[in-house]
Amino acid sequence: MPGPARLVVLVSGSGTNLQALIEAVADPVYGAEILAVGADRDGIAGLERAERAGLPVFVHRVKDHGDRADWDRALTASVAGYEPDLVVTAGFMKILGPGFIEAFAGRIVNTHPALLPSFPGAHGVTDALAYGVRVTGCTVHLVDAGVDTGPIIAQGVVEVHDADHADGGEALQERIKTVERKLLVDVVGRLAREGHRIEDRKVWIPA
């Protein structure tokens, strides 16, 4: 029997997706363990959640490195040190460099708050709202060299209400995040327990 899948999670913010993963891995049946949590900034709730769970944390701020390539090398080395099976970017608001993506190719799982390929980038919720879509949602996908362009694993749909235009998308974001946390936990668990293969942009997880 192989042991639980080894996860490293990267965060930049409140870390509610990380929290959902922390709670999921507490059950041995889930099939995964979190080795460490990394961030691109200090003082965020995501790191506090990790510390509260007794997980090792590391921080690499772009501004502490000579250039972006140096930052990417440092981040890659920190993550590689934990020998992860999967890297989960859960609200990590930096674009990963080519070295990082090559080191963990096909094993980086990202969650995005819109139905890709629509509304990629840092403002998925508000871009979708401003466009006037009637449904939006979240996408869990593998990371490739583009911005939110990698093979899609799963998506969740959330309806847009008229009232969502009144509060700048705050309530919509919370509804998306409720669906997203469940979806991410489900997908990561299936990847951890069953593995996956990628064929012509399709991600297959054995049933």
Q: Which residues are catalytic?
A: 112
Chain residue at closest Cβ approach to ligand GAR:
91
Q: Which position has the token pair 């959330």?
A: 158
Q: What is the DSSP letter of 89?
A: E
Smallest distance, Å, CB 82 to ligand GAR? Answer: 20
Smallest distance, Å, CB 90 to ligand GAR? Answer: 5
Smallest distance, Å, CB 161 to ligand GAR? Answer: 18
What length is written for the chain? 207
Beta carbon nearer to ligand GAR, 38 or 124: 124
Burial class (CB in 10 A: 0-12, 13-18, 19+), 207: exposed
Smallest distance, Å, CB 63 to ligand GAR? Answer: 20
The CA–CA distances, whole Å, from 203 to 41, 87, 109, 129, 140 equal 31, 16, 12, 28, 11
Element (H, E) at 175: helix 170-194
Contact 180, 109 (CB under 8 A): no
Question: Footprint of ligand GAR on this chain (CB under 6 A)?
Answer: 11, 13-18, 46, 90-91, 93, 111-113, 122, 124, 177, 180
Q: Could you write out the three-class secondary structure of 1-13?
A: CCCCEEEEEEECC
- The tally of CA atoms less than 13 A away on the side-chain side of residue 172 is 30
Smallest distance, Å, CB 121 to ligand GAR? Answer: 6
Beta carbon nearer to ligand GAR, 11 or 158: 11
Beta carbon nearer to ligand GAR, 77 or 182: 182
Distance (Å, rounded) from C-alpha 114 to C-alpha 176?
Answer: 8
Beta carbon nearer to ligand GAR, 77 or 186: 186
Distance (Å, rounded) from C-alpha 164 to C-alpha 169?
Answer: 5
Beta carbon nearer to ligand GAR, 60 or 94: 94
